[in-house]
Each structure stands twice: as structure tokens, then as C-alpha cells.
Amino acid sequence: MASASLPRALLLCLLAFTLAGEATAAPAVSSADKPALDSFLQQSLRDSHIPGMVAMVVGKDRILYSGAFGRADVAAQRPMQMDSIFRIASMTKPVTSLAVMMLIEEGRVGLEDPVGKYLPEYAGRPVLDTFYPLDRSYTTRPAAREISIHHLLTHTSGLGYTFSSLTLSQLQGTDPAKFVAAPPLLHDPGTQWSYGESTRVLGLLVEKVTGRPLADVLRERIFEPLGMNDTSYVVPAAKHDRVVTIHRWAGQGLVEAPNPAGEISAPVQGDGGLHSTAADYAKFMQLILNEGRTADGRRLVRAGTVKQMTRNQTGTVRVRLQEAANPALSAVFPLGAGRDSYGLGFQVTGTPAVHGMRSPGSLSWAGIFNTEFWIDPASGVGGILLMQYLPFYDRQAIEALQGFEQRVYQPAH
């Protein structure tokens, strides 16, 4: 069996994505193509350690393909179903970003406002200047500018995560007594792309500006209008048996962790914690494909707001490879590093496009348990592939994602 994460192999995949040629025409998934997608995904499970997955392809107004494979609970021999509920982790981020854009659209906050205007604890955050890993000592300097809401939405704030930054991981260490409560920024805001807790801060911003809990804002303004009835931070006990278990790599294989009894909950944060299904998240994707309208024609946000979210908002600053500071949690990521830019809540596919894959200008992001999606406005389709195991960007998970996408854009007929 292959190892859990192979950074060199992933780097080659990333390079291939950067150097490939032009994209093909828009996909037209039909009934003739479904057996090929089923066959590939079934084979992916047979040839890998992936316990199970759910896949879906949507157009603007309908589901083009859906399939569930493997087990949702291996120990209980419970098969995966289309309504299986996944922990979608950082796929929460685009949803929180949309809530922020609603507030911007209403004039309650400004895109270029310093976040310290609303959350004073983030004003005047210094930048890491020197760091000495042996004793974890460091120096800082004043940042060239304040962190803005724009910087938070584009992950250019300088805030990071310990699992994807060796510097932050070494700085924080494992001794709680020496934990740095407010670590310095990794770089000046706006100068680099660094994956981190920016969207967690946006969740705090939503709560501060609205005076409401984030979970309530998301439910009332996004989930209920879209009919996302299985999306929440808390899965009630009545839906317990639909929740997929998590597997983690340990030694030579994956080890399953049983779900806790009763309701299943996660911390309410802007950057993670949501549970959802493929069909529910597809409704969010269709909202973007339809430029802010729901399936029944109601407008949740202006078309201009969606266009603003989905175009390059980082200029010449490109998405960078993030380090595997904790290999048990994540390999290096993401695909498109060095080529893609970032919008307001989404990674934006750059050029040159990859032959037979999503178009330039497509949107994407993922969750740490290997949940992935992309939205291709030029082709009018979106794809979602949900798995539930660690580490993130495991080679076999990425191979399944790429193979699935290739078959969506290269129909069998």
C-alpha cells in the first residue's frame, strides 16, 4: 500500500497542473457518461485506502451526476449514501466569505476597512522579523499596513496555521506554557498568500457587526434560503447515523474513529466546523453559478457582488505551496500553486489552463478531511468530491479528484 503522503509526487502533480496546455470545451455530462464516472470512482476505492466517497456534478439548475461509494462507517458496515453527512471543515470558508460580502453589499462594512476598526485586538499586529527555532525566541517589526477585510478574504493578511507553516509550528511548539496567544504576522498584509485563520477572524467580524451568533447568521441568510437543511455546526441525534466517520493515517494504514453518541457538534468558527452533504453544498455552488440567485429565482446577493468575489483579487500575488509542517494532518498543498490567484473566498484558476480540466477563472477550495469542490462559471458546471480521512492532500485523494474531474470534462460518448 502507498504511503499516506508523498510530497515529491504531489509536487510533480502541482507542476503538471502549472505547465499543461489549454482547456477543452464545456463538459456535457449525460447518461452515457455516468457509467464511466461510476467505474472510475469504484476503481479508485478498490485501488486505494480511501474508505468511501460521495461525488456530484451540477449545472446551474440541475444535478448532472451523483454517486456514493464505499463505507460511511467501516466498523458498522454502513454503506455510503448520497445523503451522508460530512465534516466539511474549511469548505466553511467560502460560506463565511459570502456572509461578509452581504454585509459589504449592505454598506455595514467596507472591503478596504481595517479589521481593527471592528475588532481592536487585530489592530497594529506586528510582523515576524527574526526567529530562532532552537530557543523559540523572535523579534518583530511594525507592519507596513493594517490588516483589511480584503486581506482576510484573500488570505493575504499574514495570519497562518501551524499545520501549514513550519515557522508558526516551531514558534508555537508543544509546551502550552510557552504558547504564543497572538503570534506575529508571517509577512506584511497584501504582499504574499498564506493559508491561515483569516476567515476565522471574518466570522468574529460577522458576529460583531450583526450582534448575532455566526451560526444563526449563516442559517438565516444562506442555508434556509437555499434549502441547505443538512448544513450546520451541530448534527442532531436524529441524523447521527448519516454522519461519516473519520479515518486517520497511523503507521501502515488508516484507523477509524467512531462517531460520538448523540448529537455531533463542532466549534462555531468562520474558517471551519460545518457539516454538510454533497446535495446541500451543491446548492451553494449553484448560487455562485447563477450569480447570486437561488434555484427558484430569488436573489440573495447582487450579480456584481458574486463577480467581485470570483475574480482575481490578489493581482500578481499568487497562491503559494503551503508546507507540510504536520504530515499527520496535511501534505503540501494546493494544486495550482504558482499559477492561481485568489478571489474573495475562493481560489481562482489561472492560466495556462490544464488540458481537459476546469476552465481559467474557475473557483475552488477544500476541507482538511479531503472534501473538495470546484465551480466553473465558463462551463456552467461544478463538481464536488467528499471523503473523510487524514492527511489532507493524501496522494490517493488527489488522484481520485483529478481522475474524477478529467472524466467530467472528457465525456465517454
Which regions in the chain score pLDDT beneath 70? 1-32, 411-413
**pLDDT computed for residue 32 by the predictor:** 52
pLDDT of residue 29: 65
What was the pLDDT predicted at 8? 43
207: left (phi over 0), alpha (psi -120 to 50) or beta: alpha
Calculated CA dihedral for residues 104, 95, 408, 337, nearest 10 degrees:
80
176/7 Cα distance (integer angstroms):
30
CB contact set of 327 (below 8 Å; sequence gap of 6+):
4, 5, 391
| Superfamily designation of domain 7-105+213-409 | DD-peptidase/beta-lactamase superfamily (3.40.710.10)
Residue with cell string 457539516 = 275
pLDDT of residue 14: 47
Residue 160: closest CA among 133, 192, 114 = 192
What are 168's three cell numbers? Answer: 508558526
Entry pTM: 0.93
pLDDT at 26: 55
**What integer pLDDT is reported at residue 230 of this predicted model?**
98
- Residue range 213-239, pLDDT digits in tens: 999 999 999 999 999 999 999 999 999
The domain segmentation of the chain, as residue ranges, is 7-105+213-409, 115-207
92-105 and 278-289 are packed helices; what angle lies between their axes, rounded to 10 degrees?
A: 40
